[in-house]
Amino acid sequence: MTERPLLYADITVEEDSLDVPASNSIGDQLRHAVDTHCLAPVSAYAGVLGILTDVICVFLPDAAALDMVARVVASWSPNQHEASCPLPRLVLIVKTSPGQNQAKVCSQLLDTIRRKTAAKMLEARFSAVGVYALPIGVDVSAEYQYGRLRDHMKSESDIVRRHRIANSLLFNSRHFATLAESAYTSYVNGQPFDVVRATRARNQVPRKMQHSIERFIRKFAKEEAALATFVLPHIASAMMLDAFPPGMHKFAPEQVYRSLYKTVFVGALGALGMPKKYEAILRSIITRRPRRAWTDAGRVEGQQKFMRAYARRWRDIYSDRDCLVCLCRTPEYALSCGHAVCAIDARRFGEKTGPDSFVINACPLCFRSVGTSQYRVKPKTKGINILSIDGGGVRGIIPLQILQLLEKRLSSFLPDFPVQNHFDLIVGTSSGGLIALGAVMKDFSVSCCMNMLRNMSASVFRPRLPLPGWLQGRALRLLTIYLFGSLYPSESIDTFLRNALGDKKLLDHCAATARGAKVAVTASGVPRGGYLLSNYNGAGSDEHRGTCQHIRATGPPDRASVYDAARATTAAPGVFWPHSVPRVGKLQDGAICGENCPKWTALCESRSLWPGARRGVTLSLGTGYTDARPTSPVSPTTAQAPKRAVRPSGVFDTLRGYVSSLLHAVDSFMDGEAAYDRYTLEDGPALMDGKKTFRCNLKLDDPLPTLDDLDAIEDLRSQTSAAFQGGEQIDAVTRALLSTLFYFELTARPMRNRSGTTCVGRIVCNLDPGTDLHHLIMSLAGGGAEFFVQGVVVPLQRKSVNYRNTRFQQSIQLSVRDLDAEFPIALRVSGLGCEWEPTSISSSPFTLRGLLDSQGWNNHFGNADDTPTSPTRSRKRFLNVEGKRIGKKQRL
């Protein structure tokens, strides 16, 4: 190894012969791959390596072969040249025999070259042109001959390297290789190559940055002094915070600004109608600051120092649309001071407490204390577990009973672990939304949610008009809707939900935030439109979003509460009045916009929140169905009242037709099974993993009970218990949930060898150290649980370790054919009454390339979330797939 490696690329230029030469040189191969023209390799090398080349050497067969030099010079045209990038030096090498005056030969040759080649072309493409005389003769050894040539080339290269260092364009080996690959891709696709943009190929500048800057400037548009002293310096700091993640090459900040952010800022100024003088001010701020203040840890410290200096000013500035720290992303976590920050900045400025957890002690903007709230993010290689819950009024007891059966089945391994904690994303509609909010946001147990559903139904489904029994029934419903607009008063459900859920905001820290769970409920606009109310504020990529629009506030006063979300998603039309949400308007039951089975929305949201992540378990819970149901749900845009055969003859007939149509439409919208069937038919192959996708729903022989049928609750619960208890479906879901508690990650970069590719990694349990983890591992190991790695049995380790204080991780080594070869890892559970077949752990099967991408190790220029781009060193010994310990000399 050397700190000064020399990289050579050779080209063979032939005048006449177009046959493929016997040589295996890169030049020979590239010449015939790109074109049959003899100078095509020169043009290709210029396009691919021009910006990375220090010295170009042309070996002349004799001093008369000057026409070839002129053609080489004309063919050397880099794909694109950075203004600050040093030009390569051109060295012509000519052989001289003993007795020749080498200095005179070089001088004459150089003069001839300048006469035959346009001077402007030489100056535009090369920083210097020189001639080197290569001595030949019987008495000249090859070692002397080429040793001197190597030293000369190194000397020439050093001159260019000094310019590269001065302009921050000298790359390490890993960066060099990545840029060369990017340059080749640009050349093949006929695109200009920008070295700075190439470093951000895997970490694009966020699309919303321009709009975030627009909105931030607009807050101070009338304060000229604030623009120069506060707004523009903060924008510059935010840009450099995004520009130099750990691992990024240390370009000159002004060069990065020019390539990546200038168009963003100029676009924001144009949208605001502001003069371009502010662009010059911003550029000067970036240029004046010392380079070390923008790169590495200095950029984070600099951002903190700047925000602390204006801490009092930040106390009056809030936004729920843009993270004010980075101006790049949507804020996701609301702090007790009122500010909201994105997940990346929360982690960046928080205090790390575990591999995937952190606490925030003070707001990064106003620096007020915000307690010690715990936050968690999903491990990078773990798959996504999704829970989708249909709506159906009192029929919500069906999914609750299924969850209770699952929890009971899992209790052998995790006796005190709530079943909802197995899921990363939970989406619900109507009563399903209420369950999601109660179980995940409020951390209610499944039994508590059952009681809440029973109590709420008894409290809110009370007739407005206490008429005699012989007048009740359909006639009473008709009269009530006609007189009041809804069957039941809103006051009763308002009071119950406020008492049960409180006034805490959706974005406030809660049990879901502490374990990294995302929750969303659907709602429908009045008169149209689908909406989502979530605890993550619609953060993530908008590229994969579904048709529902996320509701975001402008600041703390407008934030929707858990109560608002519950009230909106349960406002079935004709049953309750719609609910008004600030800055949005009236919202009603999410089923009206076709979302009574919100699985499709959940899948879209998972791809937006975790782009590229694989799915683990997807569990969709229904609220009952019958064979008499419609084959497809009624579309909210095409729903019509049933046509009557006879024209209504009176007011009562008209009223009856109207109410009947309304109730029929509500029942149609509430048919989640039909929606699930449609999604499976239309989009199943693209979005669903059949092995770990489950639909649990109760088939009823009788017609579905109405949404407010209190007498049906216990009967539905009993039927659900009888249909699912001890069944194969509950066992299959249990197996899948247990296995996806484990995931695999690399601990070292894969290494190629003659037989394939070897890698070292570890199987990790997603549970934090504690009683739950300890009981799980002891139960599994005690029953003889085994991992299957590429079909080889690896016993689950049962060390004398107290997992109440230590994470579970089991190290293994394996070999595969190449980076794209799939290898499965599965868990087989036995004992405790279980003899289950091996079930894939989270995200299995894997590929090494996929793991490298997921862990951010293929992004050599830094990750947006500031996580490492390479593995950290470990002194632990590893086990191969046979469970044998690997010695130190064998470790990768």
DSSP per-residue letters across 290-332? -GGGTSTHHHHHHHHHHHHHTHHHHTT---SSS-TTTSSS---
How far apart CA 163 and CA 2 sit, in angstroms, is 21
Kindly state the greatest CA–CA separation across the chain.
129
Token output for 258 = 């020019």
As a whole number of angstroms, the distance between CA 454 and CA 799 comes to: 46
Give the separation between CA 341 and CA 326, rounded to whole angstroms.
Answer: 9
Backbone phi and psi for residue 750, each to the nearest 5 degrees, phi listed first: -60, 150
Residues in contact with 617: Cβ distance below 8 Å, sequence separation at least 6, in sequence order: 385, 386, 422, 423, 692, 694, 733, 736, 737, 740
Catalytic residue selected from 259, 430, 668, 844: 430
H or E element, residue 370: strand 369-376
Write down the residue that tokens 């579904």 correspond to.
Answer: 546
Which residues are registered as beta bridge partners of 523?
Answer: 531, 589
**From CA 265, how far away is CA 258, in angstroms rounded?**
10
Nearest of 654, 635, 646, 655 to residue 574 by alpha carbon: 655
CA distances from 164 to 85, 161, 256, 714 (A): 7, 5, 15, 77
The catalytic position among 242, 508, 589, 708 is 589
DSSP string, 661-729: HHHHHHHHHT-HHHHHHHHHHHHHHHH--GGGEEEE--B-SSPPPPTT-GGGHHHHHHHHHHHHTT-HH
CA distances from 742 to 524, 532, 731, 807, 829 (A): 38, 31, 18, 12, 13
Over the range 664-702, which residues count as b (16 or more CB within 10 Å of their CB) and which as e? ebbbbbbbbbbbbbbbbeeeeeebbeeebbbbbbbebee
Sheet arrangement for strand 89-96: 55-60, 89-96, 128-135
Cα–Cα nearest to 506, from 452, 572, 436: 436
Q: What is the DSSP letter of 738?
A: H
* Catalytic residue list contains 818: no
Q: What is the DSSP string of 131-195?
A: EEEEE-STT--HHHHHHHHHHHHHHHHHHHHHHHHHTT-PPPHHHHHHHHHHHHHHHHTT----H
The DSSP letter of residue 846 is B
Q: Check: CB of residue 134 under 8 Å from CB of residue 820.
A: no
**811 SS3 class:** strand
301 Cβ neighbours under 8 A, 6+ residues apart:
none
CB 160 within 8 A of CB 86: yes
CA 117, 120, 124, 128 torsion: positive or negative? positive
At 834, phi and psi to the nearest 5?
-120, 130
Name residue 589's beta-bridge partners: 523
Angle between helices 277-288 and 262-272 in degrees, nearest 10:
150
The Cα–Cα gap between 708 and 208 comes to 44
Distance CA 391, CA 623 (A): 7
Known catalytic residue: 542? no
Task: Extract the tokens encoding 1.
Answer: 């190894």
Helix or strand run (H / E) with residue 251: none
What is the rounded CA–CA span in Å between residue 195 and residue 714? Answer: 67
Catalytic sites, residue numbers: 430, 589
